[in-house]
Structures are given as structure tokens and as C-alpha cells.
Chain A
Amino acid sequence: MAKQRVKFTFPTELIKEPVIYRLGKQFAVVTNIRRADVTEDRGWVVLELEGEIEEIERGVQWVIDQGVRVDPVPGDIVEG
């Protein structure tokens, strides 16, 4: 089993969608929220994903396809 720490940033139109719930239902991925800030028009959630690595990757790709931005927890790693 692998673990991956990620940050989801939600656009306004997805604030009301249960994206994290569906991620856990549709994929064999355990979601564990550690920190979040969500208001009526935007939001971000820092969470840990646990599962087989291929399943996490499929799940993350599905989240991206929904329109959520997915980043590593430390922010951008590529620097100038």
C-alpha cells in the first residue's frame, strides 16, 4: 500500500460537488483530510490518499478530470 499527500484546489463550480466522497467510493483509495479551507465560492483541502499506487494514480487523474487542481502539499517544487 502507498500513501500520497496532495492538495486539492476547487473552482467555484465544484464547491458543492462531493468530489472527495466519490473518489473514495469509485476507487479503492482511503481519503484522510488533514487541513482545509472551504467557503461558498472557493476552497482547498490538504489530504492523504492511501491505496495501491496505480489506484491512487487513477483516482487522482479522475479528480483532475473533474476540474479540480491537484498539487503536491509543499506547493510547486520546480524552481527557477
Chain B
Amino acid sequence: MSYATHLRCRECGRCYPLEPVHVCEFCFGPLEVDYDYQALGRDISRQRIERGPLTVWRYGDFLPADREQAVDIGAGFTPLLRAQNLAEALGLRRLYIKNDCANPTWSFKDRVVTVAATKAREFGFDTLACASTGNLANAVAAHAAKAGLQALVFIPADLEQGKIVGSAIYGPTLVAVKGSYDDVNRLCSELSDRYPWAFVNINIRPYYAEGSKTLAYEVLEQLGWRAPDHCIVPMASGSLFTKIWKGIKELAWLGLVDWAHTRMSGAQAEGCSPIVEAWERHSFNIRPVRPKTIAKSLAVGNPADGYYALKVLADSGGFAVAVSDDEVVEGMKLLAETEGIFAETAGGVVIAGLRRLAAQGHIQPDELVVAFITGAGLKTQEAVLDRLVPCLVIEPHLASFEEAIAGHREAVAAGRHTSRGESHG
């Protein structure tokens, strides 16, 4: 069963029944799911959670949808890995990587969409919709296929063919919209008013967003029921960042972990960093930007939850950091070369941000740090294609191999090839 009781406006506090609505009728503030925490507190225990399935639905008591009816393709319970090599490279001692590349469509969006699809079916919708340039589209198309729902996925008309395949394979209706990024946004807003679809991040957004909390629950359980000292999280709309914080607070309120004063730090790419820019101005007012970065999965110029992300940064004592596209690529390579994890550009943003914060002394060497890697690198291969060591091409005999390998080793020794994220070229 779900302990969700109602929706509450995050601005004026007005309450609404659990329906497919997302803004307050009075102040147009965003709505968020609220729960009967007293009842949840009476029933919940670590053992009860540990008996659950190895997916996000293990934490079904904390989600606003019925676990028994879940649209479940196996999202969640991804590895939490001790990152000893990367820690040493950064001067840290207790670093973990939460590897959400291991989700069914290779990004954390499966967590939010499994909840959104389940809720859409509960509400009686027959169509699941979204507007996306990648990860969200993949997750919506896959979950709609499993749920037997129609899928409508809006994409910018200039999206690369390679990005379309990861959605098209599941058989959605793909609609390529001509026009600017802002045009696509406005059109989708109008469509959601006009058509009776479950638009996952519009009318289903309050439910959808709750799926991100499962990242926090998993990390705390995988650490042996304790909260980290410091989290570093990529920020796009800011929703993931705020929900990880909410998840940590919920488990602490309910006595499942001790309160650890976890600091929440967020990373963005310089080409789209409206949250970091406001944080650096000591302001809670986001100035929208037009995104220009290789970290396309974080390219949200007008972040819906930017204000709330700034509040979490302030409340938790965390830091906001923006990194250049070059640093993003270096971050991707560093993670791959030290820990064997090929993350997408958003992962490069996190690792580059982590490196910056560690170098600046904002992360203490003894802190237990968790870096959240939210999507797999095969989705954004073009970002690193021209920055990799080329392969050795040889004739099919030993002498050719030995000549080539000797030359290669010389080049590595001389620092002409990238190694461990250090200098290259």
C-alpha cells in the first residue's frame, strides 16, 4: 500500500487530493506529494525494506503508487561501489560511486518513470508522454511498452539519429518538433493543457519526481544504514538534487538512520549553470539561460526546481560548482580509467565537480562521499570520440605487433597519451 495522502503546494501550503495535477490553483506554485509519516513510522523497519524486491519498489512504502501494480522493468538497486583508485587520485579516503548506468535504459530516469507510468495507469490514462533529448525519452518509451500504454515522445527536429534509436526501438510515436528549444517547451506546455495524456514531467510531475528519492534510500541501505557525510549530484531541473535530500531526511525522521548532517553539493556544466550562478550571487532568484554545453542531459536553462535546489544547498551547507566542457571530458575519462565506469557527460560533470571541490578543500579527506553517476557513456560517445588514445593498427605478424607496442609504450611513458586523466597531446 502507499502512505501518500495528498498533494501540497510548496509555496502556499494548500492541499489537493491525489490527482493528476501539478500546480496550485491559487498561486500556481508546484505541488509535492505528502505522506502519513505517523502511520509509515509505525509500520516501517529495515527488515521490512530488506524483504522487498531488488528494484526501486523495495521502497514502495515511500512512493505514491501501488507497488502491487507497478510498471516494473527492473529500475533501481544499482551498485554502490567503493572508488579507491579515484579517491587516491583526488586525495580522498572514503569515496563511493552510485552507478545508475546500471538501470534498464541506462540512466536514473527509469526510477522516476517507473513511478510515473504506474501512477498514469492507476489514473486510467492510455498515453504516456514526454519531451526529451535522450534519457527521459528512452525511459518513457520502454516503460510505456511494458505497461501497454501508448507512448508519445517529442524530440527536437535536429536530434542526432543515434539518440533516436534508444527510444524508437520500443515503438513509441516519435514527434520531431522544428524550432528552438524554447518553442518545443511552449508547445509541450500547450499540448499538456489540451490533450488527456499523462505527461510525465508536467501533470504527473509530483509523482514522477518522488522516484528520485530511491537513490537516497538505496545509498543509505547499501552503506549499512547510514547517511553519507557529503553527496555530489548533477543538477539539471534541480529535482533529483532536492529529492535525494528529501529521501535522506525521511529515513532520518523515521529512525532508520542516524542524522548525519549530510552536505549536498551540486554540479552543473558552465554552459548551462543557472543554479550555480544564483548560488554564487547569494541569491534565490534563478536567471534562465540558453544552454550551450556538451552535457545535454543537464541542459535545462530554466530549472523548475532551481529555487528549491538553492534552499537545499543553503540548508545542508553544500557547494555549487560549474565546470567547463573540457573538464567534463576529463572527468569522464578519469572515472573510466580509475574505476572502470563509462559515464555519460553528466557523470563527467559530477567527477569534474568533485575534483574541483576536493582541490579547493571543500571536501575533507576523511568525509564519506558519494558521487552520483546518473547515466551511461555509450549515450554520449561523441563527447569523447576525439579525445581517446587511437588503436594500434598492425600487420598480422609478431614483428609488426612488437614494433607498434614498443612505440605505444614510449608514447605513454613520455606522456603523449592520456593516462589517469592527466595531460595529453
| Neighbouring B residues of A17 by C-beta, 8 Å | none
Main secondary structure of the interface of B (DSSP, over half): mixed
| Neighbouring A residues of B315 by C-beta, 8 Å | none
Are A78 and B237 closer than 8 Å at their CB atoms? no
Closest to A44 in B: B285
Q: Which of A5, A34, A75 contacts B26 (CB 8 A)?
A: A34
Are B28 and A77 closer than 8 Å at their CB atoms? no
Q: Give the contacts of B169-190 with A (CB-CB under 8 A).
A: 181-182, 184-186, 188-190
Are B11 and A76 closer than 8 Å at their CB atoms? no
Interface string of B291-335 (1 = CB under 8 A from A): 000001111111111100000000000000000000000000000
Interface string of A57-80 (1 = CB under 8 A from B): 000000000000111111111111
Are B133 and A77 closer than 8 Å at their CB atoms? no
Are B132 and A35 closer than 8 Å at their CB atoms? no
Closest to A77 in B: B188
Q: In the docked arrangement, what's the CA distance between A76 and B305, Å?
A: 10
Closest to A71 in B: B302
Interface string of B7-45 (1 = CB under 8 A from A): 000010000000000110011111000000000000000
Are A76 and B185 closer than 8 Å at their CB atoms? yes
Give min CB distance, A29 to chain B, whole Å: 15
Are B185 and A71 closer than 8 Å at their CB atoms? yes
Say if the beta carbon of B193 comes within 8 Å of chain A: yes
Are A76 and B300 closer than 8 Å at their CB atoms? yes
| Neighbouring A residues of B23 by C-beta, 8 Å | 5, 73-74
Q: In the docked arrangement, what's the CA distance between A73 and B306, Å?
A: 13
Q: In the docked arrangement, what's the CA distance between A79 and B301, Å?
A: 10
Are A4 and B193 closer than 8 Å at their CB atoms? yes
Q: Which of B28, B199, B237, B296 contacts A76 (CB 8 A)?
A: B237
| Neighbouring B residues of A69 by C-beta, 8 Å | 288
| Neighbouring A residues of B237 by C-beta, 8 Å | 75-76, 79
Are A80 and B132 closer than 8 Å at their CB atoms? yes
| Neighbouring A residues of B186 by C-beta, 8 Å | 70-72
Give min CB distance, A73 to chain B, whole Å: 5
Q: In the docked arrangement, what's the CA distance between A76 and B132, Å?
A: 11
| Neighbouring B residues of A80 by C-beta, 8 Å | 132-136, 236, 296-300, 346
Q: In the docked arrangement, what's the CA distance between A56 and B106, Å?
A: 41
Are A79 and B236 closer than 8 Å at their CB atoms? yes
Q: Give the contacts of B215-238 with A (CB-CB under 8 A).
A: 236-237
Say if the beta carbon of A46 comes within 8 Å of chain B: yes
Give min CB distance, B21 to chain A, whole Å: 11
Q: In the docked arrangement, what's the CA distance between A70 and B183, Å?
A: 10
Say if the beta carbon of B352 comes within 8 Å of chain A: no
Closest to B107 in A: A80
Q: Which of B22, B27, B184 contacts A78 (CB 8 A)?
A: B184
Are A74 and B22 closer than 8 Å at their CB atoms? yes
Q: Which of A9, A70, A76 contacts B303 (CB 8 A)?
A: A76
Give min CB distance, B3 to chain A, whole Å: 26
Q: In the docked arrangement, what's the CA distance between A59 and B421, Å?
A: 52
Q: In the docked arrangement, what's the CA distance between A37 and B193, Å?
A: 26
Task: Pick the most buried of A35, A72, A74, A80: most chain B CB atoms within 10 A of its CB.
Answer: A80
Are B26 and A77 closer than 8 Å at their CB atoms? no
| Neighbouring B residues of A5 by C-beta, 8 Å | 23, 28
Say if the beta carbon of B263 comes within 8 Å of chain A: no
| Neighbouring B residues of A77 by C-beta, 8 Å | 131, 184-185, 188-189, 192, 199, 201-202
Are B30 and A74 closer than 8 Å at their CB atoms? yes
Q: In the docked arrangement, what's the CA distance between A74 and B238, Å?
A: 12
Say if the beta carbon of A42 comes within 8 Å of chain B: yes
Known A4-B193, A80-B136, A80-B297; contact A75-B28, beta-carbon cutoff 8 A: no
Closest to A5 in B: B28
| Neighbouring B residues of A4 by C-beta, 8 Å | 190, 193
Closest to A70 in B: B186
Q: A76-B303, A78-B154 are in contact. List 6 more A-B contacts (CB 8 A).
A: A9-B287, A37-B285, A71-B302, A72-B186, A78-B181, A80-B133
9 A-B pairs whose Cβ atoms sit less than 8 Å apart in the complex: A5-B28, A9-B288, A69-B288, A70-B186, A71-B185, A77-B185, A78-B131, A79-B132, A79-B135
